[in-house]
Amino acid sequence: MKTIKGPALFLAQFAGDSAPFNSWESITKWAADLGYKGVQVPSWDSRLIDLKKAADSQAYCDEFAGKARDNGIEITELSTHLQGQLVAVHPAYDEAFDGFAAPEVRGNPKARQEWAVEQVKMALTASKNLGLDAMASFSGALAWPFVYPWPQRPAGLVETAFDELAKRWKPLLDHADSCGVDICYEIHPGEDLHDGITYEMFLERTGNHARACMLYDPSHYVLQCLDYLDNIDIYKDRIRMFHVKDAEFNPTGRQGVYGGFQGWVNRAGRFRSLGDGQVDFGAIFSKMAANDFAGWAVVEWECALKHPEDGAREGAEFVKAHIIRVTEKAFDDFADAGTDDAANRRMLGL
């Protein structure tokens, strides 16, 4: 068994234009002061990281990691959630997702996708330069508009979508392999990889690629009414990353999983700060320890009610309290009588 590393914090929801959230040095010091030992870095945020330099320059990466270490912080992973989203975009979402891309490729889906692919490649190379072995991402989505269809889906539509999705990601997975980095897809509504079955459909089409791994986030499973504990046992060999995020699902006679087009505060299912929702983190951390999860427990703050800085402060303590320092001996070793084959045979009547 292994002791999970942490606590760590995903910085995407905190980076901003005001101190201490507007520079790499200040945000890592802020995180360390809250008790975090690591941070997950949004690779698209130029206030924190120059992705091209990180891909091109080992010296830049050494300096970047060194500044964090000076503040007592390790880099856990890079994230390409926004760029990964743009690897596969259904035309219905072209305008909505355009803002994720560089200004020069907006309004041009082909150029935008090429830009996104190059971004993911750079992040994988940068991960290698930083000595990291995993990178977080989204799969993007071609089939999502048809997730609950009326009229029914025509035969072969989903298969064609997943064939294309795998075709787009396979070269990136191969590049990831050359870098020694796992791509950990966050299994997430809005993505074609939104549950175990869709992940398996994708995995099969990539030839069960060794680098096509999972980012486990139980909050997205609570909102789908999916068994998030069983999921850990099913995919323990593919789960390489862990977002610690809470959620609650309280259906009523008026709304359920789909939320009635309401804002986050008024949905039956909503994300909550750690400890304020319904996720059984005691059971999750136990399963992670028993299954030899060797990665980081990364707090991702998203809450419909609580202030982010309060959520971050409480999150560090919450994760510290849940990390299990695994035992090196059995609790009943004191009663061990040793090994005696002859005695064993006598006890069995042999």
pLDDT of residue 41: 98
pLDDT at 162 over 90: yes
Q: How far apart are CA 185 and CA 98, in angstroms?
A: 21
pLDDT bin (cut points 50, 70, 90) of residue 338 is: confident
pLDDT of residue 328: 78
pLDDT of residue 337: 67
pLDDT of residue 329: 75
pLDDT bin (cut points 50, 70, 90) of residue 1 is: confident
Per-residue pLDDT of 207-249, as tens digits, reads 999 999 999 999 999 999 999 999 999 999 999 999 999 999 9
Q: How far apart are CA 61 and CA 49, in angstroms?
A: 10
Per-residue pLDDT of 18-29, as tens digits, reads 999 999 999 999
pLDDT of residue 256: 97
Arithmetic mean of pLDDT, 118-134: 98
pLDDT at 331 over 80: no
pLDDT bin (cut points 50, 70, 90) of residue 336 is: confident
pLDDT of residue 343: 85
pLDDT at 276 over 90: yes
> Contacts for 306-313 with beta carbons within 8 Å, 24 or more apart?
306/272, 306/273, 306/276, 308/13, 308/14, 310/273, 311/273, 311/274, 312/9, 312/14, 312/31, 312/34, 313/34
pLDDT of residue 335: 63
100 CB-near residues (< 8 Å, 6+ apart): 44, 82, 83, 85, 86
| CATH fold group of domain 5-347 | TIM Barrel (3.20.20)
pLDDT of residue 339: 77
Per-residue pLDDT of 18-72, as tens digits, reads 999 999 999 999 999 999 999 999 999 999 999 999 999 999 999 999 999 999 9
pLDDT of residue 47: 97
Q: pTM score, two decimals? A: 0.95
259 CB-near residues (< 8 Å, 6+ apart): 267, 268, 269
Domains of the chain, residue spans = 5-347
Arithmetic mean of pLDDT, 290-314: 97
Q: How far apart are CA 127 and CA 180, in angstroms?
A: 9
pLDDT of residue 2: 87
Arithmetic mean of pLDDT, 103-124: 98
pLDDT bin (cut points 50, 70, 90) of residue 340 is: confident
pLDDT of residue 334: 63
pLDDT bin (cut points 50, 70, 90) of residue 108 is: very high
pLDDT of residue 333: 67
